[in-house]
A = this chain, B = another copy of it.
Amino acid sequence: MAKIGIKQVAALSGVSIATVSRTLRNPEIVSEKTRQKVNDAVKKAGYKPNKMGSSLRTQESGNIVVIIPDVTDPFNSGIICAIEREAQKLGYSVLLGDTQNDPKRAEQYAEMVEYGQADGILLFSYNLPIDVTPDENGQVNLPPIVNVCESTAYENIHKVMVDDEEGARKATQHLIDLGHKRIAVITGNENTTTNQNRLAGYQKALINAGIELDDRLIMQGNYQIDSGVEQTKKLLLFKDRPTAIFCFCDLMAMGAVKVLHDNGYAVPNDMSVIGFDDIKFAEFTYPAISTVRQPVDEIGKTCMHQLYKLLKDKPAEQYIELKTDLIVRDSTGPAPKG
């Protein structure tokens, strides 16, 4: 049995290949009768139009690539899941671009659109893996791309962001409201914009409450669970220990809680811990982690829609900012007396 192409279907239904193509792509411009014949033949032959053929002709791969540091991070995998669901609805397939924090890999993935392998990019990085030096005409040739969660310095790029500063402010304020005065943070990777914004939110909340900033309470983490462990250990060494720790992601909060337990501290009675993200497991740890929820589904959906608009040459908002929610669970409580 030879492979079924458009030619075979055309022969089977007694029309030209042009008409077969039209029936499949623009049924409304084909007569009812012909349409019927063709559709019957398509079904009978089990014809599946070859994507490479149509892609080459239309100059659209039908793929988008999502460039993201680490699929293994539960926040990221949640986002990817949301993107994929939305992409499918819009008729796109998603290529996975897990950079594993390697800029070279990011560049390779970004090049996929130059190679015609993908039509657009969803970029979760503060680092633009694309050359934006203007050409001789002062023009920058940017592929369809939307920058998500992390913000690139380059301005002329569509962005879907989360109000990290406000989120961090709310988390810190929550601790302040509970009577905490010595509030430590465990940060994410230094250069990320999420980290910088969350740090700003933390500091503003403290200043606003008239609490003096103490740089010793700012511990450098990296959004990974072990850094939550390591930095918390350092914090426990202090003579003037903090009474609360604000971790810039839930994973690090898990690590912090772990260390606290291991060393005989009750959470939240001896020490409060709050995270950021609201990953799926945050409510299932013991104690359930208070956190700042990022609207994962909305982020995924929104950025995919924005990219879709760019791909279809429709007007898209230059900048969209999504809101967070403070989720109070069991890992935060009143500051211990004394």
Contact A98 B81 (CB under 8 A): yes
Report whether A258 and B285 are in contact in the complex, using a CB–CB cutoff of 8 Å: yes
By the criterion CB–CB under 8 Å, are A284 and B255 in contact?
A: yes
Copies of this polypeptide in the complex = 2
Min CB distance, A271 to chain B, in Å?
Answer: 13
Tell me whether A286 and B284 are in contact (CB under 8 A): no
By the criterion CB–CB under 8 Å, are B52 and A56 in contact? yes
> Is A55 part of the binding interface, using a Cβ–Cβ cutoff of 8 Å?
yes
Interface residue from B114, B116, B254 paired with A281 (Cβ < 8 Å): B254
Contacting pair B74 A81 (CB below 8 A):
no
- Among B111, B115, B284, B286, which residue has its beta carbon within 8 angstroms of that of A50? B115
Give the most central of A105, A117, A229, A261: most B CB within 10 Å.
A117
State whether the Cβ of A337 lies closer than 8 Å to any Cβ in chain B: no
A93's partner among B114, B117, B281 (CB-CB below 8 A) is B117
Closest to A66 in B: B96
* Per-residue B-contact encoding for A68-83, CB less than 8 Å = 1, 0 else: 0011101001101100
- With an 8 A cutoff between CB atoms, is A100 at the interface? yes
List the B side residues contacting A251 at CB < 8 Å: 281
The contact sample of 21 A-B pairs, CB cut-off 8 A, is A48-B116, A50-B56, A50-B115, A50-B116, A52-B55, A52-B117, A53-B56, A53-B116, A55-B55, A72-B74, A72-B78, A81-B98, A84-B98, A88-B105, A93-B95, A93-B112, A94-B95, A225-B284, A257-B286, A262-B286, A286-B286
Chain A, 214-258, contact with B by CB distance < 8 Å: what is the 0/1 string?
000000000001101100000000000000000000010011011
Given known pairs A280-B72, A281-B281, A285-B254, the reply for A85 and B56 (CB within 8 Å) is: no
A313 sits at the interface (CB 8 A) = no
User: What chain B residues lie within 8 Å of A96 (beta carbons)?
Assistant: 80, 84, 93-96
Q: Which of A52, A55, A105 has the most CB of B within 10 A?
A: A52
**Interface residue? A22 (CB, 8 A):** no
Residues from chain B with a CB closer than 8 A to the CB of A116 are 48, 50-53
The interface size of chain A toward B, counting residues with CB under 8 Å, comes to 58
**A28 on interface, CB distance cutoff 8 Å:** no
Q: Chain B residues with Cβ under 8 A from A63's Cβ?
A: 95
Question: Which residues of A are interface residues toward B (Cβ below 8 A)?
Answer: 1, 48-53, 55-56, 59, 61-63, 70-72, 74, 77-78, 80-81, 84-85, 88, 93-96, 98, 100, 105, 108, 111-112, 114-117, 135, 137, 225-226, 228-229, 251, 254-255, 257-258, 261-262, 280-281, 284-288
* B281-A225 in contact (CB<8A): yes
Complex interface: chain B residues within 8 A of A77 (CB) = 71-72, 74, 77
Complex-state Cα separation, A111 to B271, whole angstroms: 53
- Report which residue of A81, A111, A255, A261 has the largest number of chain B beta carbons within 10 angstroms of its beta carbon: A81
Question: Quick check: B70 and A81 within 8 Å, CB to CB?
Answer: yes
Assess A114 versus B48: contact at CB under 8 Å? Given A74-B74, A81-B71, A95-B93: yes
Q: Who on chain B is nearest to A87 by CB?
A: B96
